[in-house]
Amino acid sequence: MHIIKVDAIDSTNSFLRNLNREKNLLKPTCVITRTQLAGKGQMGTVWQSNPGENLTCSVFMRVTGVALMDQFYISMATSLAVCDTLRDLVTPGLAIKWPNDILSDRKKLCGILIENVVKSGSLIAVIIGIGVNVNQIKFNNLPQAGSLKQILGKKIAVNEVLHILLDKLEERFSELHVSNFEKLKKEYENILFRKDKPSTFLNAKGESFVGIIKGVTNEGKLQILIEDEIILSFDLKEIKLLY
């Protein structure tokens, strides 16, 4: 994989998006920065990261044979690639908090933001922003955040995490075709945070209710069992899981 290193940048996702517009990237490309000035998370949130302490990168990957309606399988493959990486580093208690936050012992280690590249109505590539908390130990007003250094009790080389991650991403993407979708979904659901446990949720109106996570739909909606054995499906804007 081609790796581009920059010292400081607004957003690695934006950098790759512009680079693809200029050069029409054909091969997997990663941009990594020591300092990301305007990192983005899900739903427009800001990703906090101290310069040089964490892995902040974006990866451009070509996609073939995945329909737009099946785009959530890319999110599953990416989440599992991060889990593969952290497993190699002997990180305990790994779980995926829907849709794609990666937790270790309930602490958020990684956030993922995926942007589609669409041409003539077809999905042709994705830009995957990945932030992994590696050596940062203080997080302002983020009680759920954690880092590898906190959990493993030692400093980890950011470059080591990067190279393992890129290998795992390429492995997972090589398996990304329809015949593997069912296996991929099962593996993703098996490590979903709080699956099959009573949990408290907030709906779009801010009302709380109790339900049990049962899995996800093929489109990536969260399936929750509520009273009277009814299973409802929710998208990201409709529901929030409380820890």
Does pTM top 0.85 for this prediction?
Answer: yes
pLDDT digits (tens, 9 = 90+) for 104-114: 999 999 999 99
Least confident window among 26-40, 42-56, 124-138: 42-56
Check residue 76 and give its pLDDT: 98
Beta strands, E only, 55-161: 55-62, 94-97, 101-104, 107-119, 122-132
What are the boundaries of each domain within the chain? 2-190, 198-241
Check residue 156 and give its pLDDT: 97
Q: Please give the distance of CA 151 from its chain centroid, rounded to a whole number.
A: 19
Kindly tell me if the per-residue pLDDT of 86 is higher than 90: yes
Check residue 29 and give its pLDDT: 98
Check residue 48 and give its pLDDT: 60
Q: Is 148 left (phi over 0), alpha (psi -120 to 50) or beta?
A: alpha
Does domain 2-190 fall into CATH 2.60.40.1760? Answer: no
CATH number of the 198-241 domain: 2.30.30
DSSP of 174-217, one letter per residue? HT-SGGGHHHHHHHHHHTBTTBTSEEEEEETTS-EEEEEEEEE-
Q: State the pLDDT confidence band at 102, using cuts at 50, 70 and 90.
A: very high
Cis peptide bond N-terminal to 198, omega within 30: no
Asked if residue 10 lies in contact with residue 38, where contact means CB atoms within 8 angstroms, the answer is yes
Helix (H, G, I), strand (E, B) or coil at 106: coil
